[in-house]
Chains A and B, each alone.
Chain A
Amino acid sequence: AQSVTQPDIHITVSEGASLELRCNYSYGATPYLFWYVQSPGQGLQLLLKYFSGDTLVQGIKGFEAEFKRSQSSFNLRKPSVHWSDAAEYFCAVDTDRGSTLGRLYFGRGTQLTVWP
């Protein structure tokens, strides 16, 4: 069965520090991969996605993610965190790769706290 693992429930960083949020998936083939961000009481906003091609993808708000097939990972990074980045981050996969059967499977989320 497919699964998405975000090993860190909560991460705290200082403003201006670099950030890496981890995501691993369990699936036989390469799925479509996504990172979403959610502020308290709000909907989810798509940060970036990987479908194919270049394994380093750029997203909005200065975020990037790298797909590593050998490690089944899709880690999210940002070189310098801003206080406004404090939120919940969800990694998600679509194992049917955009087919008519497609649906998202979410990781449990990582809560990011940013210290001034």
Chain B
Amino acid sequence: DTEVTQTPKHLVMGMTNKKSLKCEQHMGHRAMYWYKQKAKKPPELMFVYSYEKLSINESVPSRFSPECPNSSLLNLHLHALQPEDSALYLCASSQRRGGEQFFGPGTRLTVL
């Protein structure tokens, strides 16, 4: 299995909702990443987990809360988001930090 899966594909939420994005990989990778991508822009790194420990938080607002329950799963919990948080959220994994990253298809998030 050489893919990264993300659910849901699309998510529409209000500013008072709580929702979660899920990412899964079964390649035995020990580094996992969350990126945010706005239209016509490159992905922006949000969080990096290495061996299930948070190793990078790129000054992301606390309304985004990552979680890595085990080496295959990565969640992103969302609460009290703003309309400007609407974007494509991409998950990626790599064997370890550094080297090639494998990306999931993304979750298209719309905040109303």
Contacts and interface: CB of A to CB of B under 8 A. Distances in A.
B57 to A, nearest CB: 12
Given A41-B88, A41-B106, A42-B105, A101 B98 contact: yes
Interface size class of A (residues with CB under 8 A): 20 to 34
A45 to B, nearest CB: 7
B45 A104 contact: yes
A109 B42 contact: yes
A106 interface: yes
A108 B98 contact: no
Max count, chain B CB within 10 A of own CB: residue among A41, A42, A94, A103: A103
A45 B103 CA distance: 7
B48 interface: yes
A109 B37 CA distance: 12
Interface in A75-104: 90, 94, 96-104
Contacts of A36: 103
B69 interface: no
B97 A43 contact: no
B8 to A, nearest CB: 14
Query: Which interface class (under 10, 10 to 19, 20 to 34, 35 or more) fits B?
Result: 20 to 34
A17 interface: no
11 contacts: A32-B99, A43-B90, A44-B90, A94-B98, A96-B97, A97-B98, A98-B98, A100-B96, A102-B99, A103-B45, A111-B40
Given A44-B90, A90-B42, A109-B41, A102 B97 contact: yes
A42 B105 CA distance: 5
B98 A102 contact: yes
B88 A34 contact: no
B56 interface: yes
Contacts of A41: 88, 106, 108
B33 to A, nearest CB: 8
Nearest to A36: B103
Contacts of B56: 103
Nearest to A48: B100
B10 to A, nearest CB: 10
